[in-house]
Chains A and B, each alone.
Chain A
Amino acid sequence: MDCHLDIFFLEALLNGLLLAGLLALLALGLNLVFGVIDVVWICYAELVMVGMYGVHYAYKGGLPFIVAAALGIVLVAVAAGLLHVLVIRPVLETAPINQLLVTGGVLFFLQAAATMAFGVEFKNIGISLGSLNVLDMSFSRARILSFVVALVGMLALWLFLTRTYMGTAIRAIAQDRQIMPLMGVDSRRIYLVTSAIGGGLAGLAAGLMVLNYDIYPQIGLQFGPLIFMICVLGGLGSMIGGFVAAFVISQFIAVGSSCFHTEWGYAVAFLFFMIAIFFRPQGLFGAKS
């Protein structure tokens, strides 16, 4: 063990903070959908994977990166809308296990389809933003950009949810599904909009992910479990909880990696998760049981 309160430790702390922005953004989409529709998209990380391929090929096809990233948002929003209409809606009123199983099926479908379409090799988008050196510390510019954009994305969602009627309806329907139609609200439309927004957040995250990671069909397995862990730790459906949990978990990963070994970072994070859930099964900010 090599853990001192030195500049490397500070670097690890700050890197953890930067990672947290991206993780919080990823957790947000999943939490929104669960909080409103009461469905867990097991294939959530695979939607991000689809978005990453979309951004990758749009950029390689000659579009400016910013346009490719915007396209990624639209692509995943549409994919998520289709997921809701074609897969979720038919089983919405049935037992929750069915919803888990069908979205689990979509996970394998998307992985297989991506393997067939894009091959198994790792793809790098080939954009390097370099790193920012402060004192003796080094920070990836891509990660800083991700952090800032993720925060802006989350702020935009918060404004949408609190300042618009559609956003207010989304918050309301999370509380009482049955009463909404009596107020003239078509709940099917609200669910569709919510799914598309959840997908849009995944698409935004995808555009940031390609700057930080190589793409391959199974990439979802690398961060998917982490996202679920963050959502559950924060309290499934609690957007604030997911936000806080992302910061907690990323610190465990970053500092754990710095003090022990990279792989240990994840192990320490999951260990903390198990202990925390033992004492607070509903999550840090969870109200739903």
Chain B
Amino acid sequence: MALLAVSQLTKRFGGFTAVSNVSFDVEDGEILGLIGPNGSGKSTIFNCIAGMYVPTSGSIRFEGQEIAGLSADKVCHRGIGRTYQIPRPFRNLTLLENVALSAWFGQQRAVSRAECWRQAERALALVGLPTDAGATTDGLGAGALKQLELARALATQPRLLLADESLNGLDHAETEQAADMLQRIRTEMKITIVWVEHIMGVLMRVVDRVVVLDHGEKIFDGAPKAAQADRRVVEVYLGADAAA
């Protein structure tokens, strides 16, 4: 059984269909790339899974249970963590408080205060941020803020991580670091990952499989190598001329 099974998912906003009849599975332990140009429906799918949007129709099953329409905090409790494309840290809290808050409220089972702090420290250490009690968000760059975002999601102890990475704000070194980080999260923490991106580059090297979207529809589902050879994918990314 797939860890996450999205089937015939449709999301309409008024007359606009953002996601149309999209189905895909996420297998336990894999890193799945969800790619497509701007406006192709990636973020809408993420928001439907994470409980920010209620799907117009279709089903989303996580560990065999229907989660479509659950509120975001309940989806989080089920074991799905999510990062945002644009980091949104709590500036008035310390790094540790930012992450410990996730650990405290984000888990289904009750955890002790001390355990929450340990989990928060572990998450911060894993992403490479300082774990001392006084560290604040002051002066953190774009890369570090993304790491904080990731640590907050990891602190909820998810089985599935929805990573809205969109690395185009980062330089080459930071992009490589972010890709390595996701691989480490998969192998060290045994977390399955869905990675959203709109440029293909480094993602293709890391993911096991890609789902490609265009105008709210799935146009490809398979190995990264095959995607790069696929006519429709190339059309979407490089225009019809390149594919001809």
Task: Say yes or no: is A171 at the interface (Cβ < 8 Å to chain B).
Answer: yes
Q: Which of A171, A178, A182 has the most CB of B within 10 A?
A: A182
Q: Is the CB of A176 closer than 8 A to any CB of chain B? A: yes
* Contact call A183/B88, Cβ cutoff below 8 A: no
On whether the beta carbons of A184 and B105 are closer than 8 Å, the reply is: yes
Q: A183-B76, A183-B156, A184-B73 are in contact. Are A168 and B101 (CB under 8 A)?
A: yes
**Chain A residue with the shortest CB-CB distance to B76:** A184
Structural contact, A182 and B72, CB atoms closer than 8 A: yes
A278 on the B face (CB < 8 A)? no
Q: Which residues of A contact B98 (CB under 8 A)?
A: 172
Q: Does A185 contact B (CB under 8 A)?
A: yes
- B residues 76-99 in Cβ contact with A at 8 Å: 76-77, 82, 84, 88, 90-93, 97-98
- Evaluate contact between B50 and A172: CB separation under 8 angstroms: no
Q: Are A165 and B90 in contact (CB under 8 A)?
A: no
Whether a CB of chain B sits under 8 angstroms from the CB of A181 is: yes
Residues of B within 8 A of A176 (CB): 88, 90
Determine if B88 and A179 form an interchain contact, defined as CB atoms under 8 angstroms apart: yes
Q: Does B175 lie at the interface of the complex (its beta carbon under 8 Å from any beta carbon of A)?
A: no
Given contacts A172-B93, A175-B92, A176-B88, contact A183 B50 (CB under 8 A): no
Q: Which of B109-155 contact A (CB under 8 A)?
A: 113, 116, 152-153
Q: A184 touching B107 by the CB < 8 A rule? A: yes
Report if B51 contacts A (CB, 8 A): yes
The answer, yes or no, to whether B100 is at the interface (CB within 8 Å) is yes
User: Chain A 171-198 against B: per-residue CB contact (8 Å), 1 yes, 0 no?
Assistant: 1101110111111111100000000000
A239 to chain B, nearest CB (A): 12
* Interface pair B84/A179, CB less than 8 Å apart: yes
A184-B92 contact, Cβ under 8 Å, with A165-B100, A179-B84 = no
Contacts of A165 in B (CB 8 A): 100-101, 104-105, 113, 116
Cross-chain contact A183 with B84 (CB below 8 angstroms): no
- Could you tell me which residues of chain A, from 137 to 193, have a CB within 8 Å of some CB in chain B? 165, 168-169, 171-172, 174-176, 178-187
In chain A, what residue has the closest Cβ to B97? A168
C-alpha spacing A6/B101, complex, angstroms: 54
Instruction: Name the contact of B106 in the complex, choosing from A168, A171, A178, A183 (C-beta under 8 A).
Output: A183
Residues B93 and A183 in contact, CB atoms below 8 Å apart: no
Residues of the B chain whose Cβ atoms lie less than 8 Å from the Cβ of A183 = 73, 76, 101-102, 105-106, 152, 156
Distance in angstroms between the alpha carbons of A182 and B107 in the assembled complex: 11
Cα distance, A166 to B225, chains bound together (Å) = 48
Contacts of A180 in B (CB 8 A): 73
B51 engages A184 (CB within 8 Å): no
Q: How far is the CB of B10 from chain A (nearest CB, A)?
A: 23
Query: How far apart are the CA atoms of A168 and B90 in the complex, in Å?
Result: 10
- Report the Cα distance A169→B92, complex, angstroms: 11
Q: Closest CB of chain A to B107's CB: distance in Å?
A: 7
How far apart sit A183 and B152, CA to CA, in the bound complex (Å)?
7
Give the Cβ gap from B96 to chain A, nearest Cβ, in Å: 10
Q: Tell me, in angstroms, the Cα distance from A168 to B92 when the chains sit together.
A: 10
The reply on B166 being an interface residue by CB < 8 A is no
Contact B76 A181 (CB under 8 A): yes
Residue B17 interfacial (CB < 8 Å)? no
Which of A169, A174, A186, A187 meets B101, CB within 8 Å? A169
Which residues 42-89 of B have a CB within 8 angstroms of A?
50-52, 71-73, 76-77, 82, 84, 88
**Which of B51, B98, B101, B107: most chain A Cβ within 10 A?**
B101
| Contact call B88/A169, Cβ cutoff below 8 A | no
Quote the shortest CB–CB distance from A244 to chain B (angstroms): 19
Q: What's the least CB distance linking B188 to chain A, in Å?
A: 22
**Which residues of A sit under 8 angstroms from B50, Cβ to Cβ?**
182
Please give me the residue from chain B that is nearest to A184 by CB atom: B106
- Contact at B93–A171, with CB atoms within 8 Å? yes
Shortest beta-carbon distance from B204 to chain A in Å: 27
Q: Which 10 A-B pairs have the closest CB atoms?
A: A184-B106, A181-B72, A184-B76, A165-B104, A183-B102, A184-B105, A172-B90, A181-B73, A185-B105, A186-B73
| 14 examples of A-B residue contacts, CB within 8 angstroms | A165-B100, A165-B101, A165-B104, A169-B101, A169-B104, A171-B92, A175-B90, A182-B153, A183-B73, A183-B101, A184-B76, A184-B156, A185-B101, A185-B106
Q: Beyond A181-B71, A181-B73, A184-B76, list 7 extra A-B contacts (CB 8 Å).
A: A169-B105, A172-B97, A180-B73, A182-B50, A182-B72, A184-B107, A185-B106
